Structures are given as C-alpha cells and as structure tokens.
Structure 1
Amino acid sequence: MEMANVRAQVRLARIASHMEAPERNIMTGVEREATRARGAAPGFKVAILGAAGGIGQPLSLLMKMSPLVSTLHLYDVFNTPGVVADLSHTNTSAVVRGFLGNDQLGPALDGMDLVIIPAGVPRKPGMTRDDLFNINAGIVRTLIEGVAKHCPRAIINIISNPVNSTVPIAAEVLKKAGVYDPKRLFGVTTLDVVRANTFVADVIGVDPKMVDVPVLGGHAGITILPILSQATPKFTFTDKEVAYLTNRIQNGGTEVVEAKKGAGSATLSMAYAAAKFAESCLRALQGESGIVECAYVDCEVTELPFFATKVRIGRSGIEEIYPLGPLNAHEREGLEKLKPELHESIQKGVKFVQNPPAPKS
C-alpha cells in the first residue's frame, strides 16, 4: 500500500510539472518532479515566442503534433498558462511548458534547438507597414537579445512582420552580441510559396501538393516575386494569368485581412506555413539531406544584403544558397521594381538597431 501511494505521488508530481513554468507548482501539496524525461527519446527542443497570439496558438498545436519535437516551450507576455493547460491535454509525445513575461524569457530559451518568433501585433485594415514596424521592431529586438544570451546556436525562424525589416533587426542584434551566424537566421516566407502553389494549382487544375513555385525577393507587396516560369509542373501561362496570379500572391495577406473585416489577419495559413518550414529545419537538424526551401536570408544573390531565395538546409543551418536562376522579361522587370522598396526596408531595420530612436519623454 505504501509503495502504491508513492507511485501515485510521483504520477501527480509529473502531471504538475507540465502545467506552468518550472518554478510554479499549481497542485497544492504535491512536490514537483522534473518533467517526464526525454533522455534517449528522439526529438528537439523548440521555443515559440508569441505563443498565445493568433498565429502562436495554432502554430503551437502543430508543433506539439510533430514527432520531431520532444520539448515545446511556449512564451508570451499574456495567457501562456491557459494555452499550455489546453495543449497539455493532447496525447502527443512532446512535453509542453509555459513561460510568462519578461522575467521568464531566459528560462524559455535555455537549451533550445529551434526558436520560432511570431510575436507582435497582426496587420489590421488600414494599417501601414510603418505602423507595424513601430510596434514589432522593439518586440523582435528584445526577443533576439534573449536568444543571443541564452541559445545563440539555435536556428531562428522570424515570422514577425514586417519580415523585410525584422530579419535585419535580428541580424544586427546578434552582431552586437558577437554571436551572429547568418546560416542560422531565417525569415519565414513560406506562406508566399504556399499561396503560390495553391493559386497556381487552381488555375491549372491539379492537386496543390503537386505544385512547386519559387517565390523570391521579400515578404510584402511588390517585394514578393513569384517565379512562375520556374514552376513545376511546367506550364505556359497567358499574360492575363501571370498578372492575376502575381497580384493575388503579392496581396494574399490583404485578401485575408479584408475578408476577416478587422477580426484578424492570416493566422491559420501562416501557422501552417510556419510549421511546414519549422519541420524542414528539424528534419535537416536530424540529418536528412536535400531539404530545400525558399527563405529570406543574408545572401549575395543580388546586391541587396537580404533576399528570399532557395536555400538548402542542413545540420548547421544553411548549407547552400541557390542563385535566382533564369527569369523571363516579366520577372526581371519585377525584380528591378522590388529592389528600391526592399532596400529601404532593410536599411530601416539596420538603423533601428544601430541608431535606436530616442525614448519618448
């Protein structure tokens, strides 16, 4: 009987260990035991910063479902205990822990292999990129300072918009901390590729899973450049189809914002795309070869310091950066049009860190 009581106490302690950040014990009278051991079990440690938001919650669910994740740390400045309590009831292998507020950013990041950052405000109708930048730039800077201190060797996936500027912000913060590795920093532009594959499949009448359209440039408006001439399966598009597809891919985010009538932005599709890219990173970390994705990275495929292009990902991050490949006249024209805007967005991010704005009095 005594042994049965001990076993019961151990089980209750194990349950308590999952519910909140490690220093909290919500089950009165139960001594905490370390979260269930992952020891020899396969899997990686993943942190989601901004886990309680519109993208963060569905993304957290998708990552908890991944067999490649052993430990999932969810961080936000609000509501992470509720999200963790909810997710902890799902019978997948990953251990989920919640971390709340600035004081728990360090523990949330300690020992992570992959850090995914969807934190920040979503775009709303009428909101300009400057509006987004003014709020999200500071959030990303603070979070990346935490990454630089607590898990500088982690792969970083930036989702927070405007990605064209937040990735350069992250790079500058990591440089200041002396831990910048361009091979490990990714701006997630997978949603542009997912949209391109879906919209092209609708036009040519095939399963979207059969379609692969490279999307180059950046992650906003005209900086999004779908390369329809390189799409597989090979298909000849009319000028009207090219114009329709290019416009819809570039403005997919606005389409969702307007359809939701102020109630949100592209959260579900972004979570899906982010999980898809994260899964590729984890498969590469596991040693799988031939993982190729489009991503916004530090590269020299153009004269711009950051650009979305195809990259091959391996255990150490980016192993190869692919050139743009052959472009038709329409795509070359689009490339030249996007460069000034993308350059301005990059410089805006760099200057935010190098010459931070004066605090408001």
Structure 2
Amino acid sequence: MPKAVVLGAAGGIGQPLSLLLKANPLVTELSLFDIVNTPGVAADLSHINTQSKIEGFLPPDDGLKKALTGADIVVIPAGVPRKPGMTRDDLFKINAGIVRDLATGIALTSPKAFVLVISNPVNSTVPIVAEVLKQHSVFDPKRLFGVTTLDVVRASTFVAEKLGDPSLAPSVSVPVIGGHSGVTIVPLFSQSSHPLPANFAASDLEALTTRVQFGGDEVVKAKDGAGSATLSMAYAGAEFAAKILRAINGETGIAVPTYVNLTSDPSGGEALKKELGRELEYFSSIVELGSSGVSKILPLGKITEFEKKLIDAALPELATNIDKGVSFTTPSKL
C-alpha cells in the first residue's frame, strides 16, 4: 500500500491536507516534512485511529531524504504567502526556490514517485519541478501533476448555488481547463454535469466565470488579509491525491482535470495542441489516470464561442508563466 509524503506539512494548507491524508484508508504510511513544527504535527495526527503510520521530519540530519525514502506519492503545498510590501516577483522567486530544492530531493531520493504540485504559481512551479527532474535524468511526464482541483471544486459549488440546491454540489462536475491562475482558468460550464438554466444570462455567465477565476481573492478579502484559501485548497489537494491513490491501486476509468506536461500522452497532447492552435508544453486538461500516472489526455470536446474566447485569452498568459518557470532553472539561476 502507498506511502504518501507532504512537503510543507506544517503550513496552512499542509496541516489540514495531512489530516485528510491520515484519514484516507489507502494511505498506510504518511511522512511529513517542513522547516518547523513537523514532529509536533505528526505527533498530533498520530493519535488519530486510522491505519497509517506517521512520521515528521525537519531539515537537520537528512530530514528531507528520510521523509522521501520509499515515497509513492509526494504532495507539495510548501511555500510562503505574499506579505505586505512583497512584489509578486519577490514571491515567485522565494516559492520557486523552495520548490526547486524540494524537487532536487525528490530527484535524488524518490524519482519514481508521483509528484503533485500545489505550491503557487502552479503554472510555473510544475515546469520548475520538471526541469529539475530532467537535469537529474529522472523526468517521467506521466508522474508529474499540477493540482488544479480547487478550480473544479469552486465551479461545481457555484453551479449548485445557481441551481438553488447546494445539496447538489457533491454530484456536480464542471471541467476546468487551462491553468491555475486568473484568466488562465477556464471553466467549461457548457459541459457541466448539471447544466445551468436555459435562460441564464450572458452577463451572469461572465460573472460566474470571473468568480471561479478569482475565487482566491474572495477568500483573502473575507479573511481580511489574515490568510488565503488554505482549507479549501487542502480539501481539493486531498481529493486529487485520493484519485491518484485509487489509480495506483488499480482502479480504472478515473478522469480529472489536472495541469500536465503534454508529452505525458504524445498522441493526446498533440491532438490537444491542434485544438488549441498553439504549441504549449503544459496545459490543464481532462486526464484519464492509470497505474503509471497519465494514461490519456482527453480532447476539449464541444465548447461554446464564449469558452473559445476564454481559451484564446488564457494561452498567451499561460505561455509566459511556463517560460518563467523553465527559465528559473537555467544554469545561471541555479
């Protein structure tokens, strides 16, 4: 049974994510790593009466290596929130450096693990992980994922609200493609399992799309600057990790939106690029999972003219984000 590792386990996302993984019956061993407080988090979670054995590690004494040894699935929520006076570029450099160093640990210790990246900006941090793994000759595009599940969770929740029945939320499924920030987030409401009303106004659809794209701002405002979307992100991360665990366990037919390298399924990736009309290395699309990771990248399917415009607006920003991640790992940056 799988060993799961959380890198950044003592943070605002890491702690509730670790709790949810501790409760997952498919996890038999849970390893936590962070720069502070991890033994305490592990001790707290160890009192929960589920089957998984749990350990917490700090950087001294090869803590990262010990945490990653034998890992089957590694989830990375590590990073710092933006602070007053900090530019977005400052934030990127800090989080990019953190992710690069953790990716190096994965490359050296658990290169065959499935790697799930939550650390923002996902559009750039996933390429950073990929480039580090390439530098160590251990990159397998089928095993690297950017977690975009929060966008799906939000879209599904908001559709249930618009339908006037929040109890529908668990059964609503809205594909969300593109990337994982702002205009790169493209919810395909036309493909929702529970369609919006036929008389749903175009202005309301635009407002609903914007709410999904910038849902994080809504949470930051509600928390009055004291935090961001940590709990919902932890839930979404755990949901995606659960799907990976189920696929590892042999379950088939699991399809989920996730940000992947398009070479993970060469035929599906090339077909998707033709649909998009642009060469890209990474894109969040609906992916069928298998025991080895990405099994198939599925096509966009039938989309509306409004959704086509959203995709066209997303592509240039997404390309810039990808280039920023790749360029960060060039030798001059290391």
TM-score by length of 2: 0.92
Q: CA 1:222 to 1:321, structure 2 compared with 1: closer, same or farther past 3 Å?
A: same
Alignment match, 2:311:
335
1:274-304, CA deviations, whole angstroms, 9 ceiling, x for partnerless residues?
0000000000000001111100001132321
Task: Read off the aligned partner of 1:226 and give its amino acid letter.
Answer: P
Aligned-partner Cα distance in 1 for 2:224–2:331: 37
Q: CA 1:80 to 1:191, structure 2 compared with 1: closer, same or farther past 3 Å?
A: same
Larger radius of gyration: 1
Unaligned runs of 5+ in 2: 263-268, 274-278
Q: Share of identical aligned residues, percent?
A: 57
Instruction: Report 1:182-221 matches (<5 A).
Output: 182-206=141-165, 207-221=168-182
Match of 2:191 among 230, 251, 254: 230
Residue 128 of structure 1: how far off its partner (Å):
5.0
RCO comparison, higher one (Cα < 8 Å, 6+): 2
Aligned-partner Cα distance in 2 for 1:129–1:265: 15
Residue 132 of structure 1: how far off its partner (Å):
2.5
Task: Read off the aligned partner of 1:279 and give its amino acid letter.
Answer: A
Q: 1:136·1:161 contact (CA, 8 Å) conserved in 2?
A: yes
**Structure 1 residues 112-121 or 229-238, which shifts more?**
229-238
**Structure 1 residues 162-171 or 81-90, which shifts more?**
81-90
Match of 2:206 among 243, 252, 261: 243
Residue 126 of structure 1: how far off its partner (Å):
7.7
Task: Read off the aligned partner of 2:108 and give its amino acid letter.
Answer: K
Residue 81 of structure 1: how far off its partner (Å):
1.2
Residue 127 of structure 1: how far off its partner (Å):
5.8
Match of 1:294 among 249, 257, 271: 257
1:200-251, CA deviations, whole angstroms, 9 ceiling, x for partnerless residues?
1100123111211100000000000001111112333320221111010001
Instruction: Report 1:272-283 matches (<5 A).
Output: 272-283=235-246
Q: 1:125·1:257 contact (CA, 8 Å) conserved in 2?
A: no
Match of 2:2 among 44, 49, 57: 44
Task: Read off the aligned partner of 1:51 and give its amino acid letter.
Answer: A
Alignment match, 1:58:
16
Provide the secondary structure at the position in 2 that maps to 1:87. helix
1:40-69, CA deviations, whole angstroms, 9 ceiling, x for partnerless residues?
xxx310000000000000000000000000
Q: 2:189·2:195 contact (CA, 8 Å) conserved in 1?
A: no
**Structure 1 residues 202-211 or 103-112, which shifts more?**
202-211
Task: Read off the aligned partner of 2:179 and give its amino acid letter.
Answer: G
Q: CA 1:172 to 1:198, structure 2 compared with 1: closer, same or farther past 3 Å?
A: same
Instruction: Report 1:1-361 matches (<5 A).
Output: 43-101=1-59, 103-123=62-82, 129-206=88-165, 207-235=168-196, 236=198, 237-299=200-262, 300=269, 301-302=272-273, 303-357=279-333
Provide the secondary structure at the position in 2 that maps to 1:60. helix
Aligned-partner Cα distance in 1 for 2:122–2:161: 27
Task: Read off the aligned partner of 1:250 and give its amino acid letter.
Answer: Q
